[in-house]
Chain A
């Protein structure tokens, strides 16, 4: 990595009497998971490159409560939600961007009922907008002509009807976007949602991520693009399981763009 990352926190900006354009909600995976941290950094590089004034909550951020809620623990979920909302309301946050569809869904759809009304965008939507505003542009064709298939995260796609923004970004890479047999509204889960990420799967003939990886392999991609840190892990494991990690890369869309920009 060329330069040090500059990551301002809300607390710092607030102390200096400033408020950023957006709050970057990093999420638990983005903060702690080694693979997902790379996505976080790539996105920060893009924000920096585009001169977006942003901040993170840092140590003041806490789990949105998504895995607790979907495991059935409404109580724990609401404790988390209300604490987070209190913090964000205290900083008068208006707009949030996040690279995690689970955080996105929860903050966008479930926080308003608990007093947290924010404009929430997914990083693929945000990046698309930065392109449209000319704040970032792509030159050179590192991914030109490469076969890329895109895995729709359930909580971005079906759950919130965002199918086009990530695909448009892939097209910006001059790549060849190939669709799996289950895509968009009929996309297949990676197997991580509903708190499955944190437990052993029930008995079956195979794990969901293997099935999904097989679907991806059918279209013979060079890259599997993801837009969710959990999907990323699941697909990476699937590719390893198929011993294809040398020929197929699993990358977040933010990483693809950052890499095309040689960041």
Chain B
């Protein structure tokens, strides 16, 4: 029994880690589904292509070459090292050691490339840290990046750094053990990087080396499980959500804003000369739809998925003309606010047995101010810049619709403009009958 203890502990840790993760993913699903339904069954070909190109291929990341290349390294490192994680899990459950070792030369190549990647990841992560904390790139020190978002950004880097160091330490001890022909530690793998570290373990007995190797091994896998569970609380969720998010991202021209169907019905009735304007609404008429969005539940689920996918990189904000000229609007903040409010609504549901209890809070005003909303030029720079196909503009537009159509709360100048369009067919106070005057003016 005792000899199976490590396997049992391992299985327990694994189940707890994955179980907790599954629970959080369920929450995530539930929260995203609080959004209104939206039909995204069109253009499947273009959608798969976008996912392959933007999420898998990272095409938008390399628009900024330095960040892009460093990111690609960390990304490839992450994917490839997962094969190593698979081996660790099998070893942990079965009590084997380097079970893939029988692959021979292929295994050597695998381990060697993991090691090289681990080193590159360490370098990249350090560079990222320097950019955030020493160089202090403008986009990382905006007002919305204080407190948790800042800490979170650094935490991710620390965790990745520690995981990679543990991985190399584990290999270095293993390498020494292999040299000493320790039982159980058969010769397997090639260790180009950890070989260089190995000499610090020179002179340690086999039993102490085993202790080092085991500690690093356990901390590495526990660390990975911790990281997995950290995701839900972090902007790092993008490593999972970037894929569905790019799939469900906009496939229409960026300038095409959706037409509200409910409005179309009404306008058709109004323009139809044969319609009876005093007719009573049909018996089965649904509750009149609320126009636009004042809270997260008025948004559609793709917009909510967007909010969870946002990795707070600030590329959108960096390109935003309003933000560049010192206005309060930051498309990144729009996404962060949406996520924060959605989390709050989710917690409210949990605390009240699945029923939302009014909390006198909403996305509009309590999170996103009108000043921010009105500063947007709808230029699509943020949409273009986002490396994971997030559309902050769609949320801004939905909220403007709420302000104008539900609250008639547009700035006075805009009300004048709209009055002119309504009465004169132009945003300026000119007579429609003068529309062709230019043709005769000298």
CA distance A197 to B428 in the complex (A): 11
**Residue of A with least CB distance to B261:** A113
Task: Tell yes or no: B436 within 8 A of A by CB.
Answer: yes
Query: A98-156: which have CB < 8 Å to B?
Result: 105, 108-110, 113-114, 154-155
Known: A37-B438, A159-B255. Contact between A70 and B378, CB under 8 A? yes
> Is A28's CB under 8 angstroms from B259's CB?
no
User: B265: shortest Cβ distance to chain A, in Å?
Assistant: 10
Inter-subunit contact A28/B428 (CB<8 Å): yes
Q: Which chain A positions have C-beta within 8 A of B326?
A: 203-206
For B, the interface residue count at a CB cutoff of 8 angstroms equals 70
Contact (Cβ within 8 A) B264 A114: yes
C-alpha spacing A159/B292, complex, angstroms:
22
For A1, give its contact among B292, B380, B414, B442 (CB under 8 Å): B442
Output the least CB separation between B63 and chain A (Å): 8
- Distance, CA A47 to CA B427, complexed state (A): 27
| B254–A208 CB distance below 8 A | no
Instruction: Identify B322's interface contact among A5, A30, A199, A202, CB under 8 A.
Output: A202
Interface: A59 (CB within 8 A): yes
Interface string of B6-22 (1 = CB under 8 A from A): 00000000000000000
Say whether B267 faces chain A, with CB atoms less than 8 Å apart: yes
Interface code B398-410, partner A: CB below 8 Å = 1, 0 otherwise? 0011111100001
A109 touches B256 (CB 8 A): yes
Measured between beta carbons, the chain A residues less than 8 angstroms from B256 are: 105, 109-110, 159
Residues of A within 8 A of B434 (CB): 32
Q: Tell me which residues from 223 to 260 in chain A have a Cβ below 8 Å from any Cβ of chain B.
A: none
> Which A residues, 41 to 85, have Cβ-Cβ distances below 8 Å to chain B?
41, 44, 56, 58-59, 61-63, 65, 67-76, 78-80, 82-83
Decide if B375 touches A82 in the complex (CB within 8 Å). Answer: no
By the criterion CB–CB under 8 Å, are A71 and B404 in contact?
yes
- List CB contacts (< 8 Å) of B423-442 with chain A: 425-428, 430, 432-442
Given A44-B439, A154-B255, A202-B371, output 6 extra A-B contacts at Cβ < 8 Å.
A1-B442, A59-B432, A72-B397, A114-B259, A159-B253, A202-B322
* 23 A-B residue pairs with CB within 8 Å: A28-B425, A30-B438, A31-B426, A40-B438, A63-B426, A70-B378, A71-B417, A72-B403, A75-B405, A76-B422, A79-B270, A80-B425, A109-B253, A158-B380, A186-B384, A189-B377, A196-B377, A198-B414, A200-B413, A201-B375, A205-B325, A208-B322, A208-B324
Residues of A within 8 A of B (CB): 1, 5, 7, 9, 26, 28, 30-33, 37, 40-41, 44, 56, 58-59, 61-63, 65, 67-76, 78-80, 82-83, 86, 105, 108-110, 113-114, 154-155, 158-161, 185-189, 191-208, 210-212
